[in-house]
Amino acid sequence: MRIVLIAGGWSAERDVALSGARQIEQGLRDLGHTVSFFDPAQDLRGLEKAVQGQDFAFINLHGSPGEDGLVQCLLERLGVPYQGADARSSLLALNKAVSKQLFVRAGLPTPAWEFIPAGKASSWQPSLPCPLIIKPNTGGSSIGVGLVHSLADLPQALAHPALAGLDLLAEAMITGQELTCGVLEGYTLPPILIRPKAGVFFDYTSKYEVGASEEICPAPVSDELTATLQAMASAAHQALGLCDYSRTDFMVDHDGQPYVLEVNTLPGMTATSLLPQEAQTVGLSFAALLDCLITLGLRKKAWMSAQC
């Protein structure tokens, strides 16, 4: 099969996307596919030409463009199938303030939050009590995420260079265990327990620096909590109208109450990323996971033909 691998982009998560793309490309070649590469940051106008004659597009973009649905929308218009959520659901999932409203509507606990428009960040004062987590409303990889212990910390958190000009989300800090749980089209994977070795949460360094965190899969938690996390991951997946796969991040407080933080529609896809680790636990190698995602994504071909 001829596959165009779309990766890179211009978000703050560009380097993460390119790192994963190298392993995806090798995995696709090992499966016997012919792979070409396209980076929207290098030539956004070239997407139509890049997909000509291709059977499938494999997307490995984080943030915008990619997780915001822009590339998916273009691919749908061009009639090229791809893996993961469609354009509309991608947009809903990336916007934390909007996705949280859908979680609440579905009866899923999520930490209390306040939306901070970019134009009001400099004068914003929280109505939620501290401690708070400040994060980009549409970002990922924990880039720019800051902890506000008291109001005295607020100016420094809001002044972080990675937050400049962005809409933000202030979220009540939940202390306890950090876990994540993937969904692979109708099947919920075993959750992973994440233990950062420094700091108080799974920040950028903990995620991407070798040895900076301990990731245990299956998570050493009770069968009851495992089942609850899996049910909540599946419910969050459905609440956002997702398809093929996703990964939901959780905090579980000291009383054992899990809270949905966010859902990743294009989770990290290096061989050691969280969702591939979960898949490995149930017997799916990295190559087999890629093959599964292609099979699931090809179903969009019939759907896109029906829209034209």
Is residue 291 domain-resident? no
Catalytic residue from among 76, 203, 215, 249: 249
Nearest to 277 by CA among 289, 265, 259, 261: 289
Q: What is the pLDDT of residues 106-118, one digit of tens each?
A: 999 999 999 999 9
Is residue 277 domain-resident? no
**In the annotation, is 244 catalytic?**
no
**In the annotation, is 141 catalytic?**
yes
How many domains does one find in the chain? 3
**In the annotation, is 13 catalytic?**
yes
**In the annotation, is 209 catalytic?**
no
Q: So what's the pLDDT on residue 236?
A: 98
Task: Report how far residue 211's alpha carbon sits from residue 304's, in angstroms, rounded to the nearest whole number.
Answer: 43
Catalytic residue from among 25, 171, 203, 262: 262
Is residue 7 domain-resident? yes
Domain containing 134: what range? 113-172
**In the annotation, is 137 catalytic?**
no
Catalytic residue from among 13, 25, 67, 76: 13
**In the annotation, is 245 catalytic?**
no
Q: What is the pLDDT of residues 244-298, one digit of tens each?
A: 999 999 999 999 999 999 999 999 998 789 999 999 999 999 999 999 999 999 9
| Pair (144, 48) in one structural domain | no
| Pair (159, 191) in one structural domain | no
Residue 251 CB partners (closer than 8 Å, separation 6+)? 111, 174, 175, 176, 177, 178, 179, 258, 259, 261
Catalytic residue from among 268, 273, 278, 297: 268
Q: What is the pTM of this model?
A: 0.91
| Pair (96, 117) in one structural domain | no
Q: What is the mean pLDDT of the chain?
A: 90
Residue 173 has pLDDT above 90, yes or no: yes
CATH number of the domain enclosing 222: 3.30.470.20
Q: So what's the pLDDT on residue 164?
A: 79
**In the annotation, is 187 catalytic?**
no
Residue 204 has pLDDT above 50, yes or no: no
| Pair (163, 214) in one structural domain | no
**In the annotation, is 82 catalytic?**
no
* The pairing of beta strand 113-116 with beta strand 34-38: unpaired
Nearest 5°: CA angle at 239, between 236 and 244?
75
Q: What is the pLDDT of residues 211-252, one digit of tens each?
A: 567 999 999 999 999 999 999 999 999 999 999 999 999 999
For 154-168, what is the mean pLDDT?
85
CATH number of the domain enclosing 36: 3.40.50.20
Residue 197's pLDDT band (cuts 50, 70, 90): low
Residue 92 has pLDDT above 60, yes or no: yes
Is residue 284 domain-resident? no
